[in-house]
Amino acid sequence: MRLVLVGPPGAGKGTQAEFIAANQSVPKISTGDIFRANVGQGTPLGLQAKKYMDAGQLVPDEVTIDMVRDRLAEPDAADGFLLDGFPRTVPQAKVLDEMLAELGTALDVVLELVVDNDEVIRRLSGRRTCRGCGKIWHVEFDATERDGVCDRCGGELFQRDDDKPETIAERLRVYADQTAPLVDYYGGQGKLVGIDATGPVEDVTQRATDALDPFGG
Ligand code: AP5
């Protein structure tokens, strides 16, 4: 299955991507995770991306598209993938369609996670991520047993730099302006399925599984 997850910051894309990718036996490709890994390693790509990420803005398409092209050329993505955080603009979506057409294939489905802005703010302000294994937690909705320590691997938890209130507001503005038009773009292709992404994580996973079923999921 070739699948894209779309939704505002904090909709739960990263949380659900882990379960969906495992269920579908496809690699999860998150552009945000790739950028953060590069920032952490201090690579030229990371240095370039960091100033945009910290401001809540999108990294320019020319940087992002080449990075995704390289990742999709890796052997594990040949038979399917889950993209989390890409495409994020209509130009990125058009290039993705062209890249896949060159490979003689196409996206199967785009899953939209629908949540309102108040819920996004609650989720992002309490998010914590493990430095060791990358597991996403929440101080209220999915808390670890010990403060600041990952239950899965014992790693240290951190708060993302872009989860500050003023940056969250900018990310929401950028989403509405630049990413939400993807809903019409993929709706026009008949590939969009939207699900209610509120409520317990397991319930959202079940809704996602049911929604993907007709697409061979
Ligand atoms: P990226 O990492 O993609 O950030 P995002 O889209 O803003 O999404 P988030 O990772 O913040 O949220 P999420 O939907 O994954 O939610 P999560 O599962 O963590 O991108 C970061 C930056 O990189 C961008 O701003 C941009 O600068 C750059 N970038 C990336 N891709 C790009 C591209 N294609 N082009 C240009 N620039 C790009 O959940 C959030 C919290 O809620 C967690 O604490 C979680 O535990 C909790 N939670 C999840 N589900 C539930 C639930 N059902 N109930 C209660 N709590 C829940």
pLDDT tens per residue across all 217 residues of the chain: 999 999 999 999 999 999 999 999 999 999 999 999 999 999 999 999 999 999 999 999 989 999 999 999 999 999 999 999 999 999 999 999 999 999 899 999 999 999 999 999 999 999 999 999 999 999 999 999 999 999 999 999 999 989 989 999 999 999 999 999 999 999 999 999 999 999 999 999 999 999 999 887 6
32 located within any domain: no
9 within ligand 1 shell (Cβ under 6 A): yes
Q: What's the pLDDT at 217?
A: 61
Q: What's the pLDDT at 215?
A: 86
DSSP 8-state code for residue 161: G
Burial of 184 (0-12, 13-18, 19+ CB in 10 A): exposed
195 located within any domain: yes
Q: What's the pLDDT at 106?
A: 96
38 located within any domain: no
Which one of 16, 31, 201 would you pick to mutate in the ligand 1 pocket, going by the greatest count of ligand atoms within 8 A of its CB?
31
Residue 91 lies in domain: 2-26+79-215
pTM of the model: 0.94
93 located within any domain: yes
- Ligand 1 centroid to Cα of residue 100, in Å, is 25
Element (H, E) at 54: helix 44-54
How far apart CA 15 and CA 205 sit, in angstroms, is 9
91 located within any domain: yes
83 within ligand 1 shell (Cβ under 6 A): no
Output the six-digit token pair for 105.
């294939």
Q: What's the pLDDT at 75?
A: 95
69 located within any domain: no
217 within ligand 1 shell (Cβ under 6 A): no
CATH number, domain with residue 118: 3.40.50.300
Q: What's the pLDDT at 201?
A: 94
Taking each helix axis as running N to C, give the angle between helix 90-102 and helix 181-188, from 0 to 180 degrees, rounded to the nearest 10.
40
At residue 106, the 3 state secondary structure works out as: coil
Q: How many residues does the chain have?
A: 217
67 located within any domain: no
- Ligand 1 centroid to Cα of residue 104, in Å, is 30
Q: What's the pLDDT at 216?
A: 76
How far apart CA 38 and CA 197 sit, in angstroms, is 29
How far apart CA 209 and CA 195 sit, in angstroms, is 10
Which amino acid appears at position 139 of this protein? V
Q: What's the pLDDT at 32?
A: 95
2 within ligand 1 shell (Cβ under 6 A): no
Q: How many domains does the chain have?
A: 1
Q: Which of 69, 56, 75, 43 is nearest to 9 (CA)?
A: 56
Residues noted as catalytic: 13, 88, 127, 160, 171
183 located within any domain: yes
pLDDT tens digit sequence for 116-158: 999 999 999 999 999 999 999 999 999 999 999 999 999 999 9
